[in-house]
Structure 1
Amino acid sequence: MNGDWLLRGRDGRLSVYLPTDDALLCRAERSPGGPWTAPHRVGGEQILHPSPAVGQGSDSYAHLVSWRPTVSGEAGLVHSTHFRPRLAALDWAPLGHPDKKGSRTGPPAVAVDAEGRAHVFVRNNGGGVSMVAQKEKGGWEPWRDLKGRDVQGELAAVTGESGRVEVYAAAPGGILHWRQEEAGAQPSLEEALEAQVRPDTLRALATSPDGTTLFYTDESGDLCAWRPGAKPVTLLPSAGPGPVSAVRCELDGHDCTLLAQRSASGRVAFAAYPTEQEAAGAWWAESGPALPADATVSLAVDEDGRVVAATLSPSTGQLLLTRRKDEPGLALEAWREV
């Protein structure tokens, strides 16, 4: 799943999105902090390819994007909106293909601007990035080629506190960054960072009124933080493979960025530091049981302002959850299966 798959809905309930080989499932709290529903299929009976994407707007609506099979050997992208976790999502609607037709070109990513319009990004057959965005009054704009070259792995799409959309991509020897100059504008390629980045390790987070922070793992195995316009900072050694999950939260009265990642030992590792103050340092602390190799972790903040972490193993279907205790520091409740 590209994006944070653990979300807090408009009604305060938490929900999770669970990809399968041919569908996307959702589970949600029956009431905030209460028991969970059984998995149910999202968007009707449409057959989907694996690796969907999810994004959430300031209105708390979830926007879901996935590839679907079309004719033999070809695929197209589809989109659904989920307004509230316990309501049925809209049926999947076709978005087409960045190259008009063909097979899957890469995993999609989605971000939602301040007006609630989804922006869908995907690699195209030329190796660059293409985008399609919702119109202000319904429907979709035409596909746009944002350029770039030799893009690798998953993209990281994010909406800044300004409401403008940004997207990051890994390429040989560096990272590409596109940003909207104003609401509704086509994102432009603003900066390319020279860095030895591992593909499929990018995760972006809005961290200030004017900026976003990209987290990535470099070829030496270090987790780095980069804000366009500045130099990247080595934060700490990566706890394990894959991207981190990141969330802004309040810890002991401070605005902090919390990171989580499945560690090499199989447990979940957490690290926190004052937002945009990487020089303060961060250290991993592991929690919970050892997880299967395919397990991923996602972070959210519940309606009471408490950090929530969830892990999901697609091979076993096991979903584990923990919350921060009401005490100083990052003390967590016991992990439980839901």
Structure 2
Amino acid sequence: MGHSAKRRGGDRHGAQPQVTRDSGAGARGSRILLVTPGPGTAAVLLREETGPGHVTVLCLEAGTESERADFSRAAAEAGSRGCPVDGAPRGLPAENLVRALLRHLYDVAPDRVLTCDPLAGRDAAEADDAGEREGALALAVLDAVEEYQRETAYPVFTDCRVLDRRAWPAPVSRPRYPAPTAWAVRGTDGRVSAYLPVPGAVARWTEGADGRWTGPALLDAPGLLPALSVAQGPDGYPALVGLRRVRRGEEDWNVEVVVALQYQTGRPLGPWRVLANPHRGEPLLGRYVGAPVAAYDDGGTLYVFLRNGYDTLNARHQRADGSWAPWFHLGGHKAADEIVAMRTPRGRIDLIARMRDEPGVVRWYRAGPKGAWEADRGPNVHALPGSLAAAPESGALRYRYAETGELCQWGWGAYGPVGLNGPAVRGRVSAAPGVAVGGWSCTVLAAEDEQGHCVIGTHVDGRPDSGVWWSPTGQRTLIPPAVVRDREERVMIATLGPGARLAVARQAPDEQALAFEPWLDLV
């Protein structure tokens, strides 16, 4: 079942009975609710906000004098970037936390929530009371946002951040659940849909037959964490694979991998099917699995991969009769929380995992359709965390080089990478091949630059070494853009802009160069 974003009443928490959203919010920026244990952590997240937006901060603790001073400096810097902060942090009670968070959600009516890591404290070095409090706070935020969405039908894009306090020269954060890359897909009828996860649901936008868009509709998935992988099979049906939190007691919980199929564009999503997780008998480990990654091979077999609680890798695939083979352990290489699955030129699936304890990646592959999975340390890939992206259109891997931050592409079977001559970007690069540009078949790339704008690149299919031409768009985006070809084989760029609103730009027809029609910003 799903419901579209609209006004709803009937709040039972003593807050405003209705939520209203100004239609001009996208022009001014996002309403951001930042929820952290204390002002020191809030300062780190504020420094990473590029704006525009208006921030309200909630903290469990007042923090030290030094942390409060650091927060004040970070708030002043954020305001100079067009991201003003609504005064000092508001306090949160230790008891009835979800209820208190709901009151603030109704008061602020945010479209984005930034909070801490639900898995804080999972490593032995961090397994202390502070880590436990941080994880408990994040779980309460997820619960409150999910209930708020059920009552208002508004999606709230929630980003759980992992804090690295040892980073130099200053602490930084990264997302626990990165946004999906191929989050916009063309259905079997040629219409494009966009899918992004929020707590307890998937937000879906749908292109109509007349080119107009509807959404976001919330596709209910109680307990769904903001982690989603979108894969499209040879039959054209998108598969949505995510993580769902399940309660086993008042404070005991675990996660399970779930999958659902979208058959007809715009119609209800198929039922969520439970794939459990590799730690069915170890619930305390099961909650620590990483975000799943899904991919189809050319034969139509759907594979799901994830990092397990021991930081090694597991895989599962769907058999021809629709049943699922058991989880299979790939081996002993310790993997970071960053894996990508890519289709090789032979139509099979390779898994690339960034190593946890040393530079480089491990490539997992099968020598034949029924062969055993084997590990290959050969790929000469040294990637910045958070930058690995599969390029199934060419059997390649795109990433930022760890030493310089330069955009690179490593081709299947190649020794070294090719530079893409791109601008400074963050996150992952997405792309679509086979786009007609001036009589050439080209690959169009899209990324988010360091100022939070969408940038677009293009090169001849399979020849990034011949030159990549990049252009700025000036379009703000909160996550790496998606690239997809529409029913007319024109390329479409999709972004999630300020106000957490979908914006799309379609390739202009009959152009000798790559040009786009004006951005369509969905209200």
Letter of the structure 1 residue corresponding to residue 304 of structure 2? V
How many pairs were matched up? 330
Residue 382 of structure 2 aligns to which amino acid in structure 1? Q
Question: Partner residue of 2:45?
Answer: none
Question: If you compute each CA radius of gyration, which structure gives the higher value, 1 or 2?
Answer: 2
Deviations 1:251-290 (A, max 9, x none): 2232322211111232211111122322212132101433
Distance 1:115 1:195 in 2: 28
Structure with the higher helix share, 1 or 2: 2
Residue 165 of structure 1 contacts residue 187 of structure 1 at CA under 8 Å; is this kept in 2? no
Residue 193 (structure 2) aligned to one of 6, 9, 15: 15
For 1:82, which of 262, 270, 294 is the aligned residue? 262
Q: Distance in 1 between matches of 2:393 and 2:221?
A: 38
Q: Say if 1:255 and 1:89 are closer, same or farther in 2 by CA, change over 3 A.
A: same
> Kindly tell me: are residues 191 and 207 of structure 1, through their superposed partners in 2, closer, same or farther at Cα, counting changes over 3 Å?
farther
Cα separation, partners in 2 of 1:167 and 1:318, compared to 1, 3 Å: same
Retained in 1: the 8 A contact 2:439–2:512?
no
Matches within 5 A, 1:135-284: 135-160=319-344, 162-171=346-355, 172-183=358-369, 185-208=371-394, 212-219=395-402, 220-230=404-414, 231-250=416-435, 251-284=437-470
Counterpart check, 1:51 vs 2:234: no
Structure number having the greater strand percentage: 1
87 and 298 in structure 1: CA distance in 2 versus 1, 3 angstrom threshold: same
Give a deviation string over 1:1-49, Cα, whole Å, max 9, x none: 3330010000111000021122112121121x5112222233x443201
d(CA) in 2 for partners of 1:321, 1:92 = 28
**Residues 168-206 of structure 1: per-residue CA shift (max 9 Å, x gap):** 121231022122333355543234334431122111123
**What pairs up with 1:96-115 in 2 under 5 angstroms?**
96-100=276-280, 101=283, 102-115=286-299
Structure 1 counterpart of 2:216: 39
Aligned residues of 1:260 and 1:269 also touching (Cα < 8 A)? yes
Q: Which amino acid aligns with 1:198?
A: L
Partner of 2:518: 334
How far off its partner does 1:58 sit? Answer: 1.6
Q: Which amino acid aligns with 1:318?
A: R
Report the aligned-residue RMSD.
2.0
Gaps of 5+ in 2: 1-178
Give the Cα–Cα distance (whole angstroms) in 2 for the partners of residues 202 and 195 of structure 1. 10
Is the contact made by 2:428 and 2:480 (CA closer than 8 Å) also made in structure 1? no
* Structure 1 unaligned spans of 5+: none
Letter of the structure 2 residue corresponding to residue 255 of structure 1: S
- Whether 1:61 aligns to 2:245 is no
Distance 1:279 1:57, change over 3 A: same
| TM-score computed with the length of structure 1 as normaliser | 0.91
C-alpha change, 1:34 and 1:184, in structure 2 (3 Å) is: farther
State the percentage of identical aligned residues.
29
